[in-house]
Amino acid sequence: MARRVVITGMGIWSCLGTNLETVCESLYKGKSGIIYDPVRKEMGFRSALTAKVEMPNLKGLVPRNQRVYMAEEAQYAYMSTLEALKNAKLDQDYLDNNVVGLLFGNDSTADAVVKSVDKMREYKDTAMCGSGAIFQSMNSTVTMNLACLFKLRGINLTVSGACASGSHAIGLGSILIRDGFEDMIVCGGAQEVNPFSIGSFDGISAFSTREDAPEKASRPFDRDRDGLVPGGGAATVILEEYEHAVKRGAPILAEICGYGFSGNGDHISTPNVAGPSRSLQLALEHAGMGIKDIGYINAHATSTHVGDTQEAKAIYGIFGDSGVPVTSTKGQTGHEMWMAGASEIVYSMLMMKNNFIAGNLNFENPDEDSAKLNIVAKTTEAHFDTFLSNSFGFGGTNSTLIVRNL
Amino acid sequence: MTKEEIIEKVNSVLAEEFEVEESVITPDAVIKNALELDSLSLVDLVALIDQEFGVKISNAELPTIKTFADLYTYIESHQA
């Protein structure tokens, strides 16, 4: 009999709050996490808009000599993982005595790299970079730190798949558990929020310049969208084999039923329709589900002209006039990039468990393609038992997850 | 800087960086033990002394600096 993969814990550290309860309330109320950051303007940004994410204070939680190895995003991930482990009823004693894996999506650690290079240039002496720089300056900073701090001894791997990183991490984790390689994996995604990490992204005019109204700037699927707003933080989900979870009396929250993926094999930044469509189809096939089985779609839609259009076409191409509710939570959070695939699973889970769909913030007027979808503009009380979550990234990497309530 | 000024500054910056009470920093205390340094964080000690005092401790000389008294003397004799 096939092994089933379930979610037994979640944690979140984002611009909508730094724990599950607060984030759930923010989602329900349609809170925006977007602000204007004057520092970015001074640095030469076209757009000074960003999500505002609280920096955790790890003093007292992590000793100084280990804390210096942690880049910004690793600190967010530590906090979301602490919450997820607690949520899953896992303590350090359990982690010390059982093999648990770790798969996190992360695709940059620019702030740490810039700061260490600045030191090399200033002092012309590599020792001045300090002991932590090398461990902060690698994309695997999140997994290398979490594995050592929580003493995790299973797979220890960072997934770098651009803005689909977090989603792929969860999808790959589910395959490793399904196929019997692991019984439990800490999965997630993390994203740094500092200006260095996205300055060059701003430079290609990808960001909204609606600076006079930060909370209105991220408007996925809306006719008048003018680009994305960068965000970040970290999200963690504990994946576990079903019987394993039952045996240890774990809270069994939901099941990962399907993971679809594809590559566009096309332009580096402009998405097409065929690639995402194949990802959606593969996820449905993998889950053994039809379109009527999906109760809600959490879209990737980042508030860019072409990206949202292509995704709307892909969703409509597969779901047609089924009327499945669709939203993008990025209207509230901005684009959480490497983290988004994981955080949007957490956001969708919170909605599913609490019987609502958070309105697609700033969706005021549809365009030709989004008009064909059932985009929920205002928060609605709604019960659904299965959702589908899309994540697409630069280079044409696509990931789709299907999750069912338990 | 006078020796007294060096001692005061060393104690203060090391206590802050390595998050220890200043009271553990005494002339005869062994630096590695008092500051809980391992082979990696020793690099941070060298970088901090360079940054704060403009004094570079070479890899060859580092093993000779065992106590805080050794460190005060080293900084005093290598000041620009």
The answer for A 39-98 residues in CB contact with B (under 8 A) is 59, 64-65, 68
pLDDT above 90 for A78:
yes
* Mean pLDDT for the stretch of residues B53-67: 95
A332-373 confidence digits (pLDDT tens) = 999 999 999 999 999 999 999 999 999 999 999 999 999 999
Place of tokens 């039809």: A290
What are the residue ranges of helices labelled H in A64-164? 64-67, 72-87, 92-97, 110-123, 133-136, 141-150
In this structure, what token pair is assigned to residue A53?
């994410």
- The yes-or-no answer to whether A5-247 and A260-405 have a common fold is yes
CA A298 to CA A221: how far, in whole Å? 12
Instruction: Give the separation between CA A387 and CA A328, rounded to whole angstroms.
Output: 13
pLDDT interval class at A266 (50, 70, 90): very high
Please state, in angstroms and as integers, the Cα–Cα distance from residue A208 to each residue in A164, A211, A392, following that order. Answer: 21, 8, 19
Say whether pLDDT at A256 is over 80: yes
pLDDT of A1 > 90? The answer is no
Please indicate whether, in this complex, the C-beta atoms of A68 and B41 are within 8 angstroms of each other: yes
Asked if B47 lies within 8 A of A68 by C-beta distance, the reply is no
For A297-341, write each residue's pLDDT tens digit: 999 999 999 999 999 999 999 999 999 999 999 999 999 999 999
Distance CA A399, CA A165 (A): 9
Once rounded to an integer, what is the mean pLDDT over residues A191-217? 97
Can you tell me the mean pLDDT for A148-171?
A: 98
Q: Which of A123, A125, A131 sits opposite B41 (nearest CB)?
A: A131
Write down the pLDDT at residue A128. 95
Q: How many CB atoms lie within 10 A of CB A270?
A: 13
What domains does chain B contain, in order, with CATH numbers?
Answer: 3-78 (1.10.1200.10)
* Residue among A126, A85, A120 nearest A102 (CA): A85
CA distance A179 to A330: 33
Question: What is the full DSSP assignment across A310-345?
Answer: HHHHHHHHHHTT---EEE-THHHH-B-HHHHHHHHH
The H or E element that residue A26 is part of is: helix A20-29
Query: What are the pLDDT digits (tens) for A96-112?
Result: 999 999 999 999 999 99
Q: Does B30 touch chain A (CB under 8 A)?
A: no
CA nearest A7: which of A247, A346, A280?
A: A346
Residue B28 CB neighbours (<10 A):
8
Q: Cβ contact (<8 Å) for B47 and A59?
A: no
User: Is residue A265's pLDDT more than 90?
Assistant: yes
Helix (H) or strand (E) holding A385: none
Q: What pLDDT, on the 0 to 100 scale, is given for residue A19?
A: 98
Structure confidence at residue A69 (pLDDT): 98
Pair A111, A91: CB distance under 8 Å: no
The mean per-residue pLDDT over the stretch B34-59 comes to 95
Q: How confident is the model at residue B80 (pLDDT cuts 50, 70, 90)?
A: confident
Residue A154 has pLDDT above 80, yes or no: yes
The residue written with tokens 């096309």 in the block is A266
Q: State the smallest CA–CA distance between residue B13 and chain A in angstroms.
A: 14
Question: What residue in A sits closest to B16 (Cα-Cα)?
Answer: A64
**Rounded-to-integer distance, Cα B12 and Cα B14, Å:** 6
Q: Which amino acid is at A137?
A: S
For residue A133, pLDDT over 80 is answered with yes
Mutate: best of A64, A122, A124, A145, partner B, most B CBs <10 A: A64
CA nearest to A275, candidates A399, A402, A401: A399
| Helical pair B68-78 and B41-53, crossing angle rounded to 10 deg | 40
The whole-chain average pLDDT of chain A stands at 98
Q: What is the ipTM of this complex?
A: 0.92
What is the domain class of A260-405 according to CATH? alpha beta
Produce one character per residue of A102-133: b if its CB has 16 or more CB atoms within 10 Å, e if not: bbbbbbbbbbbbbbbeebeeeeeeebbbbbbb
Verify whether the Cβ–Cβ distance B43 to A127 is below 8 Å.
Answer: yes
**How is chain A split into domains, by residue range?**
5-247, 260-405
Output the pLDDT for position A92.
98
Q: Which CATH number fits domain A5-247: 3.40.47.10, 3.40.50.970, 3.40.190.10, 3.30.70.890?
A: 3.40.47.10
Quick count: other Cβ atoms within 10 Å of Cβ A160?
Answer: 17
